[in-house]
Each structure stands twice: as structure tokens, then as C-alpha cells.
Copies of this chain bind each other. A is one copy, B any other.
Amino acid sequence: MSQAHKELADVDRVIHEPARLSIVALLYVVKEADFLYLQRESGLTKGNLSSHLTKLEESGYVKMEKTYKGKLPLTLLTLTGTGRAAFERYRETLKRALSGGLR
């Protein structure tokens, strides 16, 4: 069994799920995002987005901060250092698989 296949077999399933990949890849390129922005960009329902964010928070990949913008509640999401490292590892694994590295 080649190294590339082994990596793919052990790929991080928390990130591999398409909706969570959407969220993590987006958070990777912005400093922080609020819940409504994420919802609009990802096209997920409020309930689905919430449940994926909870899973990401439990994995230590996302930090959720509840605050206010004036009198309106605001939920800010950022990718943690652990989350950034996990995404980078995931990205390397997938890139290797997609560029013929599995031969």
C-alpha cells in the first residue's frame, strides 16, 4: 500500500464532509466571519450550519464567539491554529491524490 493511499484512507473525515470543507476552506482565507455571512456563502440552512459548526468546534478547529454589534447579537467564527494545520494537511493529501500521486 503506497503512502498516498494510506493518507487518503486516513483522511480527516471532519474536514472531508463537503459542507464542512466549504466552511473550513472559507474560514481559511478570511480572518473571521460572522454566522450570517457564512450562511449566505455556504448556502446551508441555519440548522445545518449550526450543527456543522458545533462539530468543528468540538474538534477544536473553529472558535465561536458570541458578541454584539450595537444591540444585535453577532456570532463570530475563526479557524483555530489546530484547524488551520488540519486543513493544510487535508489539502496536501487531496492534492497528492488528485495529481496522480496514487500511481
Which of B5, B16, B41 contacts A41, CB < 8 Å?
Answer: B5
* A9 interface contact, C-beta 8 A: yes
Segment at the interface with B among A26-34, A60-68, A77-85:
A26-34
Copies of this chain, whole number: 2
Q: Does any Cβ of B come within 8 Å of A73's Cβ?
A: no
A94 smallest CB distance to B (angstroms): 6
CA distance A80 to B98 in the complex (A): 18
A interface, size bucket: 20 to 34
**B102 & A98 in contact (Cβ 8 Å cutoff):** no
Within the assembled complex, what's the spacing in Å between the Cα atoms of A6 and B28? Answer: 18
Known: A22-B9, A22-B102. A41 touches B1 (CB 8 A): yes
Q: Which residues of B contact A9 (CB under 8 A)?
A: 18-19, 22, 42-43
Partner of A18, one of B11, B22, B95: B11
Q: Could you say which of A25, A29, A91, A97 has the most chain B C-beta atoms within 10 Å of its C-beta?
A: A25
